Amino acid sequence: MKAVVQRVSRGSVFVEGEEVGTIGRGVVVLLGVGVGDDLSQACFLADKIANLRIFEDREGKMNLSLLDIRGEALVVSQFTLYGDCRKGRRPSFTEAASPEEAQQLYLKFCDLLRETGVIVETGRFQAMMKVEIINEGPVTLLLEK
């Protein structure tokens, strides 16, 4: 699994002009599921993201986690994280999990993140989405497991 984690002051996702998910301070997680990924990767990433110390404390140091600030997470499925652009000019997505497998693991990841105490909003799996991200910092991290 791959996750692009962006620290945000606000994030929203729209499908066909309808807002389907919105958060305040927290993180937007663009989540990709690859061939062979399983529950262990989802557990690892959910725990890592909930406890990742990327928010500033009173001294201005990144020392606080999503749980510490009672932040929210907007999780958006992103199979294009598995786009291989090494050859040619069009990405190959052979390393991305099938939609059925990816959706199951994506939903499980969201549940696991909720179980940590984080409020989780989502996009709509396999929909054409417009994502608004107000990146704070900016802070953007790539996590893989």
The residue count of the chain comes to 145
Structure tokens at 103: 């959706």
Q: Is 94 assigned a catalytic role?
A: no
Q: Which of 78, 93, 103, 125 is catalytic?
A: 78
Which is catalytic among the residues 80, 104, 125, 126? 80
Say if CB 66 and CB 41 are below 8 A apart. no
CA angle (78, 83, 88) in 5-degree steps: 155
Concerning whether 41 is annotated as a catalytic residue, the answer is no
79 assigned to active site: yes
How far is 145 from 141, CA to CA, in rounded Å?
Answer: 13
Q: Which residue has the tokens 């989540």?
A: 31
The single residue of 14, 55, 79, 109 carrying the catalytic annotation is 79
Which residue numbers are catalytic? 78-80
